[in-house]
Structure 1
């Protein structure tokens, strides 16, 4: 039985596949997946990524790192929106997330409509790598991207098209250098 279901080819001729799977990780329920390739090898690799993703909820170190990086990203963006003074509705929604987080709420609940992106490594290895993109109140324009390679959390920040196969220096985030509240 296939883990990924309802697989369809893209209509724009890009050679991508779209489907759905049951998420049993830090997002629960049906989740969309984009596979950047059309062959059976790509589907097989994507299913390995789904299995890996579904195990992340049990990795307490990974989950703590994810929540920490999400919080730093949230605080940084809140401060940036407030400094601009032009996005009061964004700052207001973000302040609600900050207040809930600071009172013990789970920051992950503010990530909505997540989907998994899978791209096979260019070097031909079978190393696991994927990104999760979700909407969030503190970055409504570019969403939030979470990039995983192997068992490492490589990036948490705005979705800028980065992949798990980029060089580590491409994952730099200023908010990881700064002290947050």
Structure 2
């Protein structure tokens, strides 16, 4: 038996699989997974991605990078929501997250309902790549996306359909330019 359990085919007939696995890295406990394919090859690749994901917390540099990029994204979105002045509840929830983070809290605790998304590269490659999608208070409309390819953080920002296999220029985020 594999490390993915409760595997079911998606309801939309797209050939995807949905399931769960035990997360011991960024998030603790049972975590959802979506695999954009339904063959044994996809399942085997997904299990390699899970193994990689479950070791992320053993890489302090990568973990610090994830937290730093999440914070930049959070600060940028806080300023944007406040400037709009029309979403007071989002601005208030984001400000709570900012205050907790600035008081030494872990920004990861503000990410909820995480899901690991797995898509195999079109190129013939054994390289690992996946997306972690989660709800967050500073981007409730599009969720938060964290994309890992190999041992590198490629993207932290709103979930906009990016994959681990995009060109680097597709990962541009204005908040990474700000100091």
TM-score by length of 2: 0.99
Runs of 4+ in structure 1 deviating by more than 2 angstroms, as ranges, are: none
Q: Deviations over 1:124-176 (max 9, x none)?
A: 21100000000000000000000000000000000001000000000000000
Specify the alignment match of 2:142 in structure 1. Answer: 142
TM-score by length of 1: 0.98
Quote how far apart the aligned CAs of 1:11 are.
Answer: 1.8
Alignment size in residue pairs = 179
Cα distance in 2 for residues equivalent to 1:77 and 1:122: 33
Specify the alignment match of 2:2 in structure 1. Answer: 2
The worse-fitting range, judged by mean Cα deviation, of 78-87 and 7-16 is 7-16
Specify the alignment match of 1:100 in structure 2. Answer: 100
Q: Deviations over 1:1-36 (max 9, x none)?
A: 311011111121101000100000010000000000
SS of the equivalent of 2:108 reads: helix
SS of the equivalent of 1:145 reads: strand
Cα distance in 2 for residues equivalent to 1:33 and 1:178: 33
Specify the alignment match of 1:155 in structure 2. Answer: 155
Specify the alignment match of 1:51 in structure 2. Answer: 51
Pairwise mapping of residues 45-84 of structure 1 onto structure 2 (< 5 A)? 45-84=45-84
Quote how far apart the aligned CAs of 1:69 are.
Answer: 0.2
